[in-house]
């Protein structure tokens, strides 16, 4: 089975890594060769870490990298694909354009999957001539480590395609969980309101950044506090998902906190920008609360 992955960012390179490590031939596609080179370097570093830990041999690392071919031309990259996994930016117009092209460029029997964390699979499928073969494969970050794949069935997704993707996820060593296509699916419908409420708690002066995260880590056994997790996901991504929930349900409980909106507008997007609720520019792995939120 030939796999094509669209987008070589954090999620895309992780998805390519996992497929290649499990003996699939992978075409990794991006508009930028520099981005593709960075993706291969990241995959190499992650594989090196596994070799150091003894979970992978040097030969297995070499074989994994040899299974990944990069393309800047989408049509060339997907023409032999049996499954395409789109992992581009969480932007509905961009995804619709990608799927229109995929529908034209791929074999009629090719399955088209999206790694979207919130955008409607049914809407994405509607711009193709194969809505029965369009499905959501929502991997978790970091992809090589996290076991869950949220498999989202669109309104027209066939039973056969759903079963195939569930089985394929298991072949990757993942644990698939099926969800129907409603805003935010399951993972983000539950997670994002929690993150948003944590931001509201900070915004309204209920507690500070460290206190909110400590209470959720120690009191609820979360491995990472909600504000640190928001930084890790990307505050712009959190805002985008909350807007999908708010628009999709029309319920004010999903309205993004004004503090989150302001932070994103100011360019403070979390780890990716170097600053969010915490600062990431001090050169250590220690958590340092951003100056804005220091008491």
**11 assigned binding-site residue:** yes
**66 assigned binding-site residue:** no
CA distance 103 to 51: 39
Helix, strand counts (H, E) of the chain: 12, 10
**251 assigned binding-site residue:** no
**117 assigned binding-site residue:** yes
**46 assigned binding-site residue:** no
**234 assigned binding-site residue:** no
**156 assigned binding-site residue:** no
Strand arrangement, sheet containing 68-71: 68-71, 25-29, 2-6, 83-86, 111-114, 134-139, 148-153, 175-180
Collect all residues with Cβ–Cβ distance below 8 Å to 3 and sequence separation of at least 6: 16, 19, 24, 25, 26, 27, 81, 82, 83, 84, 85
Which positions are catalytic?
A: 117, 138, 150, 188
3-state secondary structure at position 186: coil
**12 assigned binding-site residue:** yes
For the annotated binding site, the residues are 7-12, 30, 90, 95, 117, 141, 272
For the annotated binding site for NAD(+), the residues are 7-12, 30, 90, 95, 117, 141, 272
């Amino acid at each position: 089975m030939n796999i094509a992955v669209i987008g070589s960012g954090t999620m895309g390179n992780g998805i390519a890594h996992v497929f290649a490590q499990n003996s699939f031939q992978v075409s990794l596609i991006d508009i930028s060769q520099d981005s593709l080179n960075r993706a291969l370097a990241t995959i190499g570093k992650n594989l090196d870490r596994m070799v150091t830990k003894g979970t992978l041999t040097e030969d297995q690392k070499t074989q994994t990298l040899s299974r990944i071919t990069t393309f800047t031309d989408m049509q060339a990259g997907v023409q032999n694909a049996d499954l395409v996994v789109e992992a581009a930016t969480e932007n509905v117009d961009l995804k619709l354009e990608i799927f229109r092209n995929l529908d034209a460029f791929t074999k009629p029997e090719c399955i088209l999957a999206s790694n979207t964390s919130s955008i409607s699979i049914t809407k994405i499928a509607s711009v193709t001539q194969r809505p029965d073969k369009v499905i959501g494969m929502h991997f978790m970050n970091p992809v090589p480590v996290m076991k869950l794949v949220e498999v989202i069935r669109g309104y027209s997704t066939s039973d056969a395609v759903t079963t195939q993707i569930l089985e394929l996820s298991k072949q990757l060593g993942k644990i698939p969980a099926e969800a129907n296509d409603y805003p935010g699916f399951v993972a983000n419908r539950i997670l994002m309101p929690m993150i948003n409420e944590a931001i509201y708690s900070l915004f309204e002066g209920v507690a500070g950044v460290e206190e909110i995260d400590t209470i959720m880590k120690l009191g609820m056994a979360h491995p990472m506090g909600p504000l640190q997790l928001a930084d890790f996901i990307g505050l712009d991504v959190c805002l985008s998902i909350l807007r999908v929930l708010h628009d999709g349900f029309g319920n004010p409980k999903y309205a993004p906190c004004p503090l989150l909106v302001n932070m994103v507008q100011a360019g403070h997007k979390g780890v990716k920008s170097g600053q969010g609720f915490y600062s990431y520019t001090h050169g250590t792995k220690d958590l340092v609360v951003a100056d804005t939120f220091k008491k």
